[in-house]
Chains A and B, each alone.
Chain A
Amino acid sequence: EVQLVESGGDLVQPGGSLRLSCAASGFTFNFYWMHWVRLVPGKGLVWVSDINSDGRTSNYADSVKGRFTVSRDNAKNTLSLQMNSLRGEDTAIYYCARGSVTGYYYHGMDVWGQGTTVTVSS
C-alpha cells in the first residue's frame, strides 16, 4: 500500500524550532518529487516547500524562506522539514504529499499523508 505518515507536530513557543518527518512506503521514494503543504485554519491549503528526487533542488514559499529547510533521506525513505523561528502564523496541519516523477507540477500531488499538527503559541 502506498503510504505517507507524518510525525513531529507539537505545541511550540514563538521563536522555537520543530522538525517534521514523513515516512514513505509502498512506492519507489527516490523517483518522486515530494512536497510539504499546510492547512491553515480559516485560510485553506498553502504550499510550503518541495524537493526533487535526489534532494539537490528545493523550493520554498516566500513566507517560510530562510526559516524552513526541507531534506530527504532516500536510503530511509524519509522526508523532513526543519522549521526554525516559528511564528503564530505557522500554526497549521502539515501534510507531506507525493509529487511527480518528472517534476512537472501539473501532474498534481497524488498521495497525501494524514497530517501532523503544529501549534505555535506561548
Chain B
Amino acid sequence: SYELTQPPSVSVSPGQTATITCSGDKLGEKYVCWYQQKPGQSPVLVIYQDTKRYSGIPERFSGSKSGNTATLTISGTQTMDEADYYCQAWDSSIVFGGGTKLIVL
C-alpha cells in the first residue's frame, strides 16, 4: 500500500520559518493536500492541489513540491500554529501521512 512519510516532529521558534516535509513514491506525479489539526479540534484544510491556499488560511502558509517531496512552509510562525499537520495524496485510495507535530517554542 502507498505510504507518505513525514517527520514525527518539527520545532521552530516564534517568528521563524517552519518547514514540514512529506515524501512518497512518485509523489511528484500526484497532488498533495495539507491539513492542520489542533488538540481536541477537527482537521482544517490548509493547502490543496500542492500549492493553493484554502479560503481563510493566512498567507504565511504555503505549499510547494520538488521531485517526490512536498513541503508545507509556515513563514513567521506563531504560537497558534502549534498543531499536528498531515499531508494527503491519492494512490488508488486516499492516503494520509503519519502527521508531524509542530512545536513552537
Contacts and interface: CB of A to CB of B under 8 A. Distances in A.
Contacts, number: 66
B37 A106 contact: no
A107 to B, nearest CB: 6
A112 B96 contact: no
Interface size range of chain B in the complex: 20 to 34
A94 to B, nearest CB: 11
A117 to B, nearest CB: 12
A112 B48 contact: no
Interface stretch (A13-21, A38-46, A74-82, A83-91): A38-46
B35 A45 contact: yes
A26 to B, nearest CB: 15
Contacts of A37: 43, 96
A113 interface: yes
B100 to A, nearest CB: 9
B86 A45 contact: yes
A113 B93 contact: no
